[in-house]
Structure 1
Amino acid sequence: MVINSYSPGLHKLVTLEVLQKEKLISSENFIIFSENLIHQYNLEKVGVTIHNFDNNSFTISICLKESHICIHTWPEFNQLTLDVYLCNYLQDNTYKVKEITAAYIDYFEAKILKDFEINR
């Protein structure tokens, strides 16, 4: 029996507590920060969908050639959920997923409420 050691990629799912509400209502600043991360880690953006809600919370999905980054904010609860997934098609991107997630945690100056890693 042949066992394939290929892993499609790491998927990080975090729920964060954020005390600076302005960061939970500024989709523009999140996009600017994300664009910088995408450039820093040599990722390729293929599309972005942004929805701003009436309470100024936002949902953003950034589609990458390598997979995606998604966020949903709840300023009324001082929380957000973040989803970072990069596939390993041409290289192992595990460290990038972990570093990008850590960069977002630093950006939001957040406390981690839930942290899941799924090896696909």
Structure 2
Amino acid sequence: MNGLHLIADLYGCRAASPVLIDCEHLETLCVEECRDAGLTPLGAYFYQFRDENGAPAGVTGTVVLAESHLAIHTWPETGDVTLDVYVCNFSRDNGDCARQVYARVIAALNPSERVEHEVTRGRLPVEA
């Protein structure tokens, strides 16, 4: 289960498109970036929230990967987003792929501020 978990809290996102409130656009962005980075999307589920008038509001979604997952949640009223990209490194090191997806999704969201964490998951190999 060794892997890499990249976590970001993104504030003041200034995405050029309505990606923070457009479920289909956000799903396409996330799935294509995973695929372009060399990861293997197995499926995706994205949910469109609506405000009290029925207008599109935030989006929550996940891309299930053969290598693990990407999860994203948007708050368009404040321009905030949370993003998690986790990859397992069981059969190969997927760290560079994860970093590419993570960086490209963040670039598309164009935050004015971000708080990031990188977590190495699993047990480290024992030195002989």
Q: TM-score scaled to structure 1, two decimals?
A: 0.86
Q: Report the identity percentage.
A: 30
In structure 2, the partner of 1:71 is: 72
Aligned residue pairs, count: 114
What is the one-letter code of the residue matched to 2:41? K
Structure 1 stretches of 4+ moved >4 Å = none
**Counterpart check, 1:15 vs 2:9:** yes
Cα deviations by residue, 1:87-108 (Å, 9 ceiling, x for unpaired) = 1011111111111111011111
1-structure distance, mates of 2:29, 2:14? 18
Instruction: Please tell me the root mean square deviation across aligned C-alpha atoms, in Å.
Output: 1.7
The match for 2:50 among 44, 51, 54 is 54
Shift of 1:24: 0.8
The match for 1:39 among 31, 35, 41 is 35
**Counterpart check, 1:110 vs 2:105:** no
1-structure distance, mates of 2:98, 2:31? 15
Q: Which runs of 5+ in 2 are unaligned?
A: 52-56, 122-128
Higher helix share: 1
